[in-house]
Amino acid sequence: MNSPAESFQLLGTLVFVSVSAVVGVRLVRLSGRSGARPELYLGLGILGTAVFGYGFQIASVIARGDAFAPDPSRMAVALTFFGKLLHDAGVTMILAFVLVVFRPGDRRAQVAFAVLCAMLWSGMIGLGPTGGYRDLLIKNPWWWLEYAVIWTYPLWPAFESFRYWGMMRRRRKLGMADPLTTNRFFLWGLASLGTFLAVAVTSFPMLLEREAMLALETASRVTTAAIGLCTVAIYALAFFPPAPYRRFLARADAPPAGEAQAV
């Protein structure tokens, strides 16, 4: 019988992947109707990282039975490869989303995007011939190169989202921005921080020795599941806000009664 922690982790993972799939598909479909690139890039990014990439990597761990298994099956190795491929493709799409939404035409941002993608894909490809798909904790230079991007990429959309949120709040005071759009940048920033925290909590045990890693495994997975649920809920709220939330933002943005009468 599963422990309460294991049951929560399983339920949290299923809900996280399912809601991520719904949000990702809805964003891609929205981009198909509007022709907008931001929704397409973010939708593919969520599907690549949170649904297919994460899903394949979980399947890989299950197929191995133990992350330290010395001789994993071909199926487990293949699942690891496709999990990394799809996850890193999703990371690339999220970085493209940042570039298009926040830094269009910015040469420095384009260079940063190119450098991050080069590091990410060089690391991922370099792991193949060096045994990185067989050994999940190989920690060779290619592994560090890939994970240097995976660990840090959410900080870029978080920074840009909060920066734009501050700008939109100033515009809102001048009546030049609506409360829903202003709040959306804040939610994007929160969701990006959630992704960063989830990656950090998942990755930290990988830096430890086997015994310490196993001791933290359950706590790490439960915490990651909780953060993941919050993150995907924030994304859903940002792009598909329900009517009660819209009304809440409108009320919060309305001037006090006395001030409205004075105007």
pLDDT digits (tens, 9 = 90+) for 194-227: 999 999 998 888 887 777 777 787 788 888 888 9
Range of the domain at 236: 4-253
Residue 39 contacts residue 251 (beta carbons within 8 Å): no
Task: Please check the confidence at residue 237 and state whether its pLDDT lies above 50.
Answer: yes
- The model's pTM is 0.88
Task: Please check the confidence at residue 258 and state whether its pLDDT lies above 60.
Answer: no
Task: Please indicate, yes or no, if residue 24 is contained in any of the structural domains.
Answer: yes
113-163 pLDDT per residue, tens: 999 999 999 999 999 999 999 988 788 999 999 999 999 999 999 999 999
What is the Rg, in whole angstroms, of the alpha carbon atoms belonging to the chain? Answer: 20
- Our measurement of the distance from residue 80's CA atom to the centroid of its chain's CA atoms, rounded to an integer in Å, reads 19
Give CA–CA dist 216/218, Å, rounded.
Answer: 6
Task: Please check the confidence at residue 260 and state whether its pLDDT lies above 70.
Answer: no
Task: Please check the confidence at residue 52 and state whether its pLDDT lies above 90.
Answer: yes
Q: What is the pLDDT of residue 242?
A: 92
Which of the pair, 122 or 72, is modelled with greater confidence?
Answer: 122
Residue 160 contacts residue 103 (beta carbons within 8 Å): yes
Task: Please indicate, yes or no, if residue 81 is contained in any of the structural domains.
Answer: yes
Give CA–CA dist 136/56, Å, rounded.
Answer: 13
Task: Please indicate, yes or no, if residue 227 is contained in any of the structural domains.
Answer: yes
Q: How many structural domains comprise the chain?
A: 1
Task: Please indicate, yes or no, if residue 59 is contained in any of the structural domains.
Answer: yes
Secondary structure tally for the chain: helices H, strands E: 11, 0
Task: Please indicate, yes or no, if residue 258 is contained in any of the structural domains.
Answer: no
The conformation of residue 255, written as its DSSP 8-state character, comes to P
Residue 239 contacts residue 183 (beta carbons within 8 Å): no
Under the banding of pLDDT at 50, 70 and 90, the label for residue 244 is: very high
DSSP string, 36-77: -HHHHHHHHHHIIIIIIIHHHHHHHHHHHSSTT-SS--HHHH
With a pLDDT cut of 70, the percent of the chain lying above it is: 94
- Our measurement of the distance from residue 120's CA atom to the centroid of its chain's CA atoms, rounded to an integer in Å, reads 15
Task: Please indicate, yes or no, if residue 260 is contained in any of the structural domains.
Answer: no
**CATH, residue 151:** 1.20.1070
83-121 pLDDT per residue, tens: 999 999 999 999 999 999 999 999 999 999 999 999 999
Q: What is the pLDDT of residue 261?
A: 46
Compute the average pLDDT of residues 251-258: 62
Task: Please indicate, yes or no, if residue 58 is contained in any of the structural domains.
Answer: yes
Task: Please check the confidence at residue 48 and state whether its pLDDT lies above 90.
Answer: yes
Q: Which residues of 6-34 are buried (b: 16+ CB within 10 A; e: fewer)?
A: eebbeebbeebbebbbebbebbbebbeee
Task: Please indicate, yes or no, if residue 106 is contained in any of the structural domains.
Answer: yes
